[in-house]
Structure 1
């Protein structure tokens, strides 16, 4: 197995068979780690579903999925270009394509442009209002790589960015915004802080050495309680959003599966176990599906 395949790559056999340059570009866009685009996709799908568009606008959900794959890839390429010096100092990221020398900076910029063109294709499928909402994400996306240098809570900024598909999907279906959408969006931010804190546990020692900040470091010995609090807040905000759409106590039962899943994550969490932290982080792909199903139930009832 090639040494330039990063430790948390999935589908390592397939990745290892690719020519070196192609492999580097795929890894740079994180195609070898699909969890990222699933986490970016789910909030957009929630917005469509709770806005009563799960079945009528299945085409929109498909476009959002394609956009999530492309733009998550573009965001990762941009992040790695900005962070190449920091990545070279962290054991887990030193083998990434740019710091390892597998992909030159100039080629990385070209690859970024290609992925953005795919995103533009998706953008052109939206109404002008929804497209404007999507374009407004560019500023927070561009600022995200710098947040770990200036705040202990870069995970909160990531929550703003990774949840942006939600107002895009909602506004495409309804033509505007609503209190339910904002509550769902706020809950998504809390969810992202929770799962990305789990992810950041893998790098706590290296981050502390090189001066990079994260919520995992800020929470210190209270990481489990902090993650539990984020997940509890997310469920509460989602319940409030669903109450706005359907003021029926039975509707809130749709969130019980994801609440139970979050409880399972918190019980299983071991702050010093990096492998378990990665597995629990990846489990949030299923959590996103559970929230989507809840939104479908409430949005179509």
Structure 2
């Protein structure tokens, strides 16, 4: 029963075999939970594929490394800020900082180390894209505080987790033109949708300790609310694709992604187990969207 209510404290696979300190640092960066860096990575990969097709595989790989490092850094920073709140939520009470398995000083050192890896990736970009990437730091720093001041921290997460789309488009196109901005807007709506599903796990604890979320704000209309955001995402992505290639056949490439998002909504059960499974399925959704962008960008 303990493992069911505190899944964020579990160590699986290779992470479970690491020495105690290394395991704590890996858990702090969520290396055992790759879904986070996949979701951070996909918008950037979409932008690169949509703008350059198969010609920039090198940059896609750099974005993957950057996503792993910076998602880890973001998790460490989030846990530093939220360590007191985490102790009050069953799912997060045994996180390394909240439980005392990792010291605050060690967490800060680990945060700097991961950020330096991100810096190496940043230096691979053209100057314009570097500036765009650095512009996200303020949003990243403010995110952990949003759940204390707004019912829509998922919208702020959308701004942050979609930012790679702007960076990727800037790298390929050399500027923030309309298709890249439209793609980014669609990504924000997608993030709000899937993170609302994720937040269903914590509704009871969040309500007790005063933490806000879109899942609480929507109340009994969660399925309808997520459907609206997913519909907005698909519409905006279709607009971005149309701006690149105004052909009906290009829009058909988006159909598998749209069907997958519809399946999420149609079969969603508002409990911790199914909501987590639906949330994680967005890794596959990201692949479907990547293939659509690759087809359109390569045509």
TM surpasses 0.5: yes
SS at match of 1:71: helix
Distance in 2 between residues matched to 1:278 and 1:72, nearest whole Å: 19
Give the aligned partner of residue 154 of structure 1: 153
Spell out, residue by residue over 1:29-51, the C-alpha distance to the aligned partner (whole angstroms, 9 max, x if none). Answer: 00000000000000000111111
Do 2:152 and 2:213's aligned partners in 1 also have CA atoms closer than 8 Å? yes
Distance in 2 between residues matched to 1:276 and 1:17, nearest whole Å: 28
Spell out, residue by residue over 1:133-161, the C-alpha distance to the aligned partner (whole angstroms, 9 max, x if none). Answer: 11111000000000000100000000000
Once the two structures are TM-superposed, the CA of residue 243 in structure 1 deviates from its matched residue by 0.6
TM norm structure 2:
0.97
What is the RMSD computed on CA atoms of the aligned residues? 1.5
Correspondence 1:6-25 to 2 at 5 A: 7-8=7-8, 12-25=12-25
Distance in 1 between residues matched to 2:15 and 2:163, nearest whole Å: 30
Aligned length: 297
Give the aligned partner of residue 208 of structure 2: 209
Correspondence 1:118-267 to 2 at 5 A: 118-267=117-266
Once the two structures are TM-superposed, the CA of residue 15 in structure 1 deviates from its matched residue by 2.4
Do 2:186 and 2:233's aligned partners in 1 also have CA atoms closer than 8 Å? yes
Distance in 1 between residues matched to 2:157 and 2:95, nearest whole Å: 20
The answer as to 2:38 corresponding to 1:38 is yes
TM norm structure 1:
0.96
Once the two structures are TM-superposed, the CA of residue 14 in structure 1 deviates from its matched residue by 2.6
Correspondence 1:77-96 to 2 at 5 A: 77-96=76-95
Distance in 2 between residues matched to 1:79 and 1:13, nearest whole Å: 24
Distance in 1 between residues matched to 2:179 and 2:25, nearest whole Å: 39
The answer as to 2:272 corresponding to 1:288 is no
Do 1:9 and 1:33's aligned partners in 2 also have CA atoms closer than 8 Å? no
Quick check: which one's helix share is greater? 2
Once the two structures are TM-superposed, the CA of residue 263 in structure 1 deviates from its matched residue by 1.0
Measured at CA, do residues 186 and 84 of structure 1 come closer, stay the same or move farther in structure 2, by a change above 3 Å? Answer: same
Gaps of 5+ in 2: none
Once the two structures are TM-superposed, the CA of residue 16 in structure 1 deviates from its matched residue by 2.1
Distance in 1 between residues matched to 2:167 and 2:110, nearest whole Å: 25
Do 1:239 and 1:252's aligned partners in 2 also have CA atoms closer than 8 Å? yes
Distance in 2 between residues matched to 1:240 and 1:101, nearest whole Å: 48
Spell out, residue by residue over 1:34-84, the C-alpha distance to the aligned partner (whole angstroms, 9 max, x if none). Answer: 000000000000111111x23211100000000000000000000000000
Distance in 2 between residues matched to 1:93 and 1:220, nearest whole Å: 23
Gaps of 5+ in 1: none
SS at match of 1:98: helix
Once the two structures are TM-superposed, the CA of residue 10 in structure 1 deviates from its matched residue by 7.6
Measured at CA, do residues 11 and 27 of structure 1 come closer, stay the same or move farther in structure 2, by a change above 3 Å? Answer: closer
Once the two structures are TM-superposed, the CA of residue 169 in structure 1 deviates from its matched residue by 0.7
Do 1:44 and 1:170's aligned partners in 2 also have CA atoms closer than 8 Å? yes
